[in-house]
Amino acid sequence: MKINDLFLEHYKGNESFVARVQDWINQSERYHKPIITPFLNETECALVEKICGKQTPYRMDGGYPNATLKRVVFFSEDDFSLVVCLCATFNTKFETIGHRDVLGALMNIGIERNQLGDLWVNDNMIVCYTSQKQADYIIQNCTKIKRSNIEFKVSDRHYEQIVKKERFTTTISSERLDNVVSAMIQKSRSIAQEYIVSQKVRVNHEILEETSKLCNNGDTISIRGVGKFIYLGKLKTTRKDRILIEFEKYS
């Protein structure tokens, strides 16, 4: 499929990634073989879904249903796993290891970030999703993080990351995007409009510049420099005709 300017107009700000997706699709069609991508973030996965629609066969896999980072395979009839789960433990009495420490250690042995999926540290356990090829390399080469000896192993269980969220309620005049963003960033509506127009706001992983768009229950709203939110919707209308809304913020 050849990309034209009219097609790219629908993906303003993401033209280079869209071209890359089309190249993956073209390769799989030309050579009649599955093409597997590196790990893609939520915005990139949403773009793949939009580009492929129901016309191009594809499958995503991040290791568990709500994974943030996922790999995509195009034109594959086989239901093989695209990722494996690596786990390692350490003694918390002698060492404190965080996400940054693990990521730094993996990058120091030559692993690029897009070769790693979701990665977190929970108490004394490190969990990391990656490909089988990278898993073998990590097991052999990442044997120490800070001062702790580490032994990564492939886990039969695919752990799920538990994300903490705080719930808030507030009143707004309408469910327009600028009003909702204003409530989330706790600033004036005019400042919220500036955020939206300057492409700092994504709704369901897509940049929106239309300040008057109405928000829907369950919308994911990401605000650059502030955080990620889930708009839960309207609870009731107050006596002063204001709307009591509820939303969650990822901690």
Bridge partners, residue 212, by sequence: none
pLDDT band at 80 (very low <50, low <70, confident <90, very high): confident
Is 84-155 in CATH node 3.30.450.40? no
The gap between the terminal CA atoms of the chain, to the nearest Å, is 41
pLDDT tens-digit series, residues 6-18:
455 667 778 889 9
**Percentages helix, strand, coil for the chain, rounded to the nearest 5?**
30, 30, 40
What is this structure's pTM? 0.84
> CATH for 165-250?
3.10.290.10
Query: Where does the chain hold its CATH 3.30.1370.160 domain(s)?
Result: 5-74
Per-residue confidence (pLDDT) for residue 12, from 0 to 100: 72
| Average pLDDT over every residue of 182-202 | 96
The answer regarding whether domain 5-74 maps to CATH 3.30.56.10 reads no
How far is Cα 160 from Cα 168, in angstroms, rounded to an integer?
Answer: 25
**According to the model, what pLDDT value does residue 54 have?**
86
Q: Among the residues of 32-185, which ranges form H helices?
A: 42-52, 99-108, 132-141, 177-185
Range(s) of the chain covered by CATH 3.10.290.10: 165-250
Spatial contact of 121 and 97, defined as CB atoms under 8 Å apart: yes
Confidence bin at 1 (pLDDT 50/70/90): very low
| Two structure tokens written together for 129 | 């999703």
Domain with CATH 3.30.70.330 in the chain: 84-155
- The pLDDT tens digits for 137-188 are 999 999 999 999 999 999 999 999 988 999 999 999 999 999 999 999 999 9
